[in-house]
Amino acid sequence: MTTITVNGMSCQHCVASVQQALEEIPGISHVTVDLEKKLVSYDGDVGIKVVAKALSSIGFEAVVE
Protein backbone atom coordinates (compact mmCIF):
# COMPACT_ATOMS: atom_id res chain seq x y z
CA MET A 1 0.00 0.00 0.00
CA THR A 2 1.23 3.47 -0.92
CA THR A 3 0.39 6.47 1.28
CA ILE A 4 0.76 10.09 0.21
CA THR A 5 -0.11 13.47 1.67
CA VAL A 6 -2.66 15.46 -0.31
CA ASN A 7 -3.06 19.20 0.23
CA GLY A 8 -6.28 21.06 -0.46
CA MET A 9 -8.84 18.64 0.99
CA SER A 10 -11.29 20.32 3.36
CA CYS A 11 -14.59 18.40 3.28
CA GLN A 12 -16.29 15.11 2.47
CA HIS A 13 -16.87 16.27 -1.11
CA CYS A 14 -13.09 16.58 -1.48
CA VAL A 15 -12.67 13.07 -0.09
CA ALA A 16 -15.16 11.69 -2.61
CA SER A 17 -13.51 13.55 -5.49
CA VAL A 18 -10.04 12.29 -4.59
CA GLN A 19 -11.25 8.73 -4.12
CA GLN A 20 -13.10 8.73 -7.44
CA ALA A 21 -10.16 10.24 -9.35
CA LEU A 22 -7.76 7.59 -8.06
CA GLU A 23 -10.17 4.70 -8.56
CA GLU A 24 -10.42 5.69 -12.24
CA ILE A 25 -6.68 5.14 -12.75
CA PRO A 26 -6.06 1.65 -14.20
CA GLY A 27 -4.08 -0.46 -11.75
CA ILE A 28 -5.20 1.31 -8.56
CA SER A 29 -7.49 -0.33 -6.03
CA HIS A 30 -8.49 -0.06 -2.38
CA VAL A 31 -8.33 3.73 -2.11
CA THR A 32 -8.78 5.16 1.38
CA VAL A 33 -8.79 8.87 2.20
CA ASP A 34 -8.18 10.31 5.68
CA LEU A 35 -9.44 13.91 5.63
CA GLU A 36 -8.20 14.76 9.12
CA LYS A 37 -4.62 13.63 8.43
CA LYS A 38 -4.71 14.67 4.73
CA LEU A 39 -3.50 11.19 3.75
CA VAL A 40 -4.49 8.99 0.82
CA SER A 41 -3.59 5.30 0.66
CA TYR A 42 -4.01 2.95 -2.27
CA ASP A 43 -2.93 -0.40 -3.63
CA GLY A 44 -1.44 -0.70 -7.07
CA ASP A 45 1.69 -0.50 -9.12
CA VAL A 46 1.19 3.03 -10.43
CA GLY A 47 3.86 5.71 -10.38
CA ILE A 48 3.42 8.59 -7.97
CA LYS A 49 3.66 11.07 -10.84
CA VAL A 50 0.56 9.54 -12.44
CA VAL A 51 -1.30 9.90 -9.14
CA ALA A 52 -0.05 13.46 -8.63
CA LYS A 53 -1.17 14.44 -12.12
CA ALA A 54 -4.66 13.00 -11.55
CA LEU A 55 -4.98 14.86 -8.26
CA SER A 56 -3.68 18.09 -9.78
CA SER A 57 -6.27 17.87 -12.55
CA ILE A 58 -9.04 18.08 -9.93
CA GLY A 59 -7.43 20.85 -7.86
CA PHE A 60 -5.42 19.00 -5.22
CA GLU A 61 -1.68 18.76 -4.59
CA ALA A 62 0.07 15.48 -3.88
CA VAL A 63 3.14 15.99 -1.73
CA VAL A 64 5.86 14.06 -3.55
CA GLU A 65 9.01 13.66 -1.49
- Over residues 2-61, the pLDDT tens digits come to 999 999 999 999 999 999 999 999 999 999 999 999 999 999 989 899 999 999 999 999
Range of the domain at 30: 2-63
The whole-number pLDDT of residue 12 equals: 95
Alpha helices in 1-65 (DSSP H): 12-23, 48-57
How many Å apart are CA 62 and CA 40, to the nearest integer?
9
Domain CATH code at residue 8: 3.30.70.100
pTM of the model: 0.88
- Surface-to-core class of residue 52, CB atoms within 10 Å of its CB (0-12 exposed, 13-18 middle, 19+ buried): middle
Per-residue pLDDT band at 64 (split at 50, 70, 90): confident
The whole-number pLDDT of residue 44 equals: 92
Counting the structural domains of the chain, the total is 1
